[in-house]
Amino acid sequence: MNTQYYLILCTIKFNVSSNRTWPIKDGYRPGFNFGGESFLSGVIKLLDKKELLPGESCDAKIYFPSDLHVANISKGKNFTFTEGPNQIGEGYVNDVLGWVDY
């Protein structure tokens, strides 16, 4: 049985000013905020790099396992991603593909 995930295509930037100094790699699971007080857990898949270092940007897929708060996600929307209270980076939604098998 396949698992369904809500999939978006985006561009993400790893902030230099974050507390994280080691690279982001496929499978990284930060919290995401698309505005408001609600955070959403998701899995990052880098598209054009093996790892993302502080200060770098790249295109990525993000898979969200829950339908909780996905109504806040839309094409053109900006978002942030965090580890606990620390903002690690930011992103921009290029496209929303919706529910897909993972």
Task: Give tens-digit pLDDT for 34-92.
Answer: 987 778 899 999 999 999 999 999 999 999 998 887 888 999 999 999 998 899 999 99
- Domain that includes residue 43, residue range: 4-101
Q: What pLDDT sits at residue 26?
A: 96
Whichever domain contains 45, its CATH number is 2.40.30.10
Number of structural domains (the chain) is: 1
The model's pLDDT over 2-25, given as tens digits with 9 standing for 90+, comes to: 789 999 999 999 999 988 899 999
Burial of 19 (0-12, 13-18, 19+ CB in 10 A): exposed
Amino acid at 14: F
User: What is the spatial order of strands in the sheet that 43-46 belongs to?
Assistant: 40-41, 31-33, 78-83, 86-101, 4-14, 57-64, 43-46
Q: What pLDDT sits at residue 64?
A: 94
